[in-house]
Amino acid sequence: NRLQTQLTTLKTEMEEAKAQGTQMGAENGALTEALERWEAAATESARRLDQAQRRASAAEAEGDACAAREAALRERVSALEAEMGPQRRAPRPRPRSGSRPRTSSRSGSRPRPSPRSRSRPGPSGGCRRPARRARG
């Protein structure tokens, strides 16, 4: 009778262990799927980061090239102005009465061009970076 009770207890424990093993197997499967999703998301994030870094590097190189072109053009303009001499330069407009002269915080002795001389058809803004797109 005592052996019968022990056998019944062992069978019950075995059934519980089987049920627990089945539950753990299901949880393990769910965790494996979640891990695969996380790994896929990490791979996609790494790919996007790489693309963004490539775009940033290309934009930086483009900005450097633009700044170099701008510097070369400024040198060329200075050389042409020097070649033309002071008599051929366009007269600078005098400030209107009541307007205060603007003080420039920029270094250098060259005056800022007037807004009229800068308003030309086509793209403007020099080497400024385009505005970042808002992410939604």
In this structure, the number of other CB atoms found within 10 A of the CB of residue 63 comes to 13
Q: What is the mean pLDDT of residues 9-21?
A: 97
Q: Answer yes or no: is 6 within a domain.
A: yes
The answer to whether position 96 is within a domain reads: no
**pTM exceeds 0.75:** no
In a domain, 133, yes or no: no
134 is a domain residue: no
Q: What is the pLDDT of residue 128?
A: 61
Range of the domain at 50: 2-86
What is d(CA 100, CA 128) in angstroms, rounded to the nearest whole number?
Answer: 29
Residue 53 lies in a domain: yes
With beta carbons less than 8 A apart as the criterion, state whether 106 and 49 touch: no
Domain membership flag for residue 50: yes
Please tell me which of 25-29, 97-101, 107-111 the model is most confident about, judged by mean pLDDT. 25-29
Domains contained in the chain, number: 1
Residue 122 confidence (pLDDT): 46
The mean of the pLDDT values for the chain is 82
